[in-house]
Amino acid sequence: MEASISAKKDLVIEARNLTKVYTMGDVEVHALRGLSLQIERGEIMSIMGPSGSGKSTLMNTLGCLDRPTSGEYYLDGESVAEMNDDQLADVRNRKVGFIFQTFNLLKRASALANVELPLRYANRNEDRTQIARQALESVGLGERLHHKPNELSGGQQQRVAIARALVNNPAFIMADEPTGNLDSKSGDEIMKMLLALNKERGVTVIIVTHDPEIAKRTERVVTIRDGQVADK
């Protein structure tokens, strides 16, 4: 019955009863305690929560960087909870676009080469340079293709990262504090860009943040507390 519901709602993410237990020495840390979450295609939403709430663990799990200890996780209809490392890498490459607080660009590579990187690992026979150039043009960096990260401003670097996240047409974008390292003006630009991507191109965006101002600008806010979705 639930399957028919998910078909109707066109879910990008459907997580049921996720748990995650870390063993630190003798102590077991329960980072996720039976968390369930559904995210529809075309949604822009934010995940909030104090530190230690399990927010980062949820982000890593949804981003397929880590596997849950138990529970089910369907990404774009694929069950990823049981996948091996290489399958997870493949899913990350095709389905997830990451944006990080610290941009995480390769210092020595040009903007173009940075955006090409996911295409290289996709190993498809295609004109990578052309695709990467279009992605950079779509974030307004068509004039800065061959600049290295240290020749770009913080806002521009984050736009390169957005182009990199978009380049493989992922199922959703996972943005971890995307404005955390930017001044308020650049941060505002980046937020506008993410909102525009969602509105104009229908890209599903998940923003993980602790800034209520940022969260307020998204359609939906999910707060995590003690490894579970907090009731409103």
Partner 1 sequence: MNYLNSFVVALESLAANKLRSALTVLGIVIGVAAVIAMLAVGRGAQSTITGTIEGIGTNLLFVISGGNSDVTNPKPLTLADSQALRDSFAAPSVIGVAPMMQGSATVTAQGESTSTMLEAVTPDYGWVRNLELTEGEFISEAHILARSAVVVLGPDVAEELFGRTDGVVGETVRIEGQPFRVIGLLVSRGGSGFTNEDNRVIVPLTTAQARLLRRSTPNRVDMIIVQAASSEAVPQASEEIAAILRARHRTGIGADDFTVLNQQDFLDTAAAVTGVLTIFLGGVAAISLLVGGIGIMNIMLVSVIERTREIGLRKALGARKRDIMIQFLAESSMLSLLGGVLGIILGWLISAAVGAVAAASNADITPVIGVDSVLLATLFSMAVGLFFGLYPANRAASLEPVEALRYE
- Token readout for 155 is 């806002």
Q: Name the segment binding partner 1 (CB under 8 A); options: 2-10, 115-123, 134-142, 188-196.
A: 115-123
Q: Name the segment binding partner 1 (CB under 8 A); options: 47-55, 120-128, 131-139, 141-149.
A: 120-128
Distance of closest approach, residue 138 Cβ to partner 1, in angstroms: 18
Question: Phi and psi of 189, rounded to 5°?
Answer: -60, -45
Site for partner 1 in 72-111 (CB under 8 A): 85-86, 89-90, 92-94, 98, 100, 104, 106, 108-109
The CA distances from residue 106 to 31, 94, 136, 138, 206, in Å, are 31, 20, 16, 20, 23
Among 6, 19, 60, 228, binds partner 1 (CB under 8 A): 60
Which one, of 114, 99, 189, 204, lies nearest residue 150 by Cα?
114
Helices (H) and strands (E) in the chain, counts: 8, 10
Beta bridge partners of 172: 96
Per CB under 8 A, does 159 bind partner 1? Answer: no
Per CB under 8 A, does 118 bind partner 1? Answer: yes
Instruction: Give the interface with partner 1 as residue ranges (CB under 8 A).
Output: 60, 63, 65-66, 85-86, 89-90, 92-94, 98, 100, 104, 106, 108-109, 117-118, 120-123, 164, 168
